[in-house]
Chain A
Amino acid sequence: MHKFANPARFMRLSKIFLPWFMGLTILLFASGLYYAFFLAPEDYQMGNTYRIIYIHVPAAYMAQFGYGIIAVASAVGFIWKHPLADQAARATAPLGAGFTALALLTGSLWGKPMWGTYWIWDARLTSMLILFFIYLGYMAVWETIEDQVKAAKIAAIVALVGIINVVIIKFSVDWWNTLHQPATLMRLDGPTIGGDMLTALLLMIGAFNMFFITTLIWRIQSLILRRRVRALRMQLGGGQG
């Protein structure tokens, strides 16, 4: 694992795989949207409004998945001091925050016609909002602390403590009485939707995943390049001075 997590090797491999991930993203989005709008039938209770699910569920899933990546990468960076792990965690945060914002926004747009309100202080909604603030806090740590080694340590602690909230998000609909519907896909007894509705949802989740991987690679590449830029600037400064 350590062999593949070398920054130089990452740059080389990512250049090879990036076009494939981009192509897959476009292909999955095109097929997912086609299924979502032309093949998936209308819901017998919610009518066409349920089609927000094809944006809302993948966004909420990626918001939590992104945080999972940050937590694992932070633990690896904290314990083994791996340089790429800290960079991966840092690069994931803005994407995770973006997906969380999108999940909150589409959730409230779905809530208005279904519940009659854009927002309610329900356990699932509130814990998602907290996740958004944790993402902002995590990013603020990296931006405000100049010493990158110290920033990585503090950010890792923030990330690891924040994982409790992801568990709360997952089980909030079971632990408390909420307006939010229970899990549709991740259930022990299998998904509660089927046919073209399920296919459309899985395709859109796949598309969001591929999009996430593509943009994450760009962000990690950017952070690796920035480290090189910083090192060269120091070298130049030393050479000239």
Chain B
Amino acid sequence: MIEEFMQQILQSNDIYILSSYVAAALVLVIMALSSWRSKKKDENDLRILEKQLNNLSEKQN
């Protein structure tokens, strides 16, 4: 059944529709993940630096 379905897709123009939607899903996921991860990384860096700064000021006091 799957084979028949794949044959049908490959023979018709459905392959172009399928490829477009797969490409769109990939591009959108990459954009969302890279944006979110970049934000998370910067949040983490800031947290570490703030902690270091607090420790330093405690030491100085």
- A interface residues (Cβ-Cβ under 8 A, vs B): 47-49, 51-52, 55-56, 59, 94-95, 98-99, 101-102, 105-106, 109-110, 112-113, 211, 214-216, 218-219, 221-222, 225-226, 228-229, 232-233, 235-236, 239-240
Beta-carbon contact of A106 and B39 below 8 Å: no
Q: Beyond A55-B23, A225-B42, A233-B49, list 6 extra A-B contacts (CB 8 Å).
A: A94-B31, A98-B27, A109-B16, A110-B20, A228-B46, A229-B42
How far is A48 from B28 in the complex, measured between Cα atoms in Å?
A: 23
7 closest residue pairs by CB, A with B: A225-B42, A218-B35, A222-B39, A232-B49, A215-B35, A113-B13, A222-B38
B38 to chain A, nearest CB (A): 4
When A55-B24, A106-B24, A225-B45 are in contact, do A49 and B13 touch as well, CB less than 8 Å?
yes
Beta-carbon contact of B49 and A109 below 8 Å: no
Number of residue pairs across A and B with beta carbons under 8 Å?
92
How far is A219 from B30 in the complex, measured between Cα atoms in Å?
A: 13
Beta-carbon contact of A113 and B16 below 8 Å: yes
**Which residues on A sit within 8 Å (CB–CB) of B41?**
222
Beta-carbon contact of B39 and A219 below 8 Å: yes
When A55-B20, A113-B13 are in contact, do A218 and B49 touch as well, CB less than 8 Å?
no
Q: List 28 A-B contacts (CB under 8 A).
A: A48-B13, A49-B13, A49-B17, A101-B27, A102-B24, A106-B20, A106-B23, A110-B20, A112-B16, A211-B32, A214-B32, A215-B31, A215-B36, A218-B36, A218-B39, A219-B35, A222-B41, A222-B42, A225-B46, A226-B45, A228-B46, A229-B46, A232-B46, A236-B53, A236-B56, A239-B53, A239-B56, A240-B56
**Which residues on A sit within 8 Å (CB–CB) of B34?**
94
B interface, over-half SS:
helix
With beta carbons under 8 angstroms apart, the residue of A49, A99, A235 that contacts B16 is A49
When A95-B31, A235-B53, A236-B56 are in contact, do A55 and B42 touch as well, CB less than 8 Å?
no
**Which residues on A sit within 8 Å (CB–CB) of B17?**
48-49, 51-52
**Which residues on B sit within 8 Å (CB–CB) of A109?**
16, 19-20, 23
**Which residues on B sit within 8 Å (CB–CB) of A222?**
35, 38-39, 41-42
How far is A221 from B45 in the complex, measured between Cα atoms in Å?
A: 13
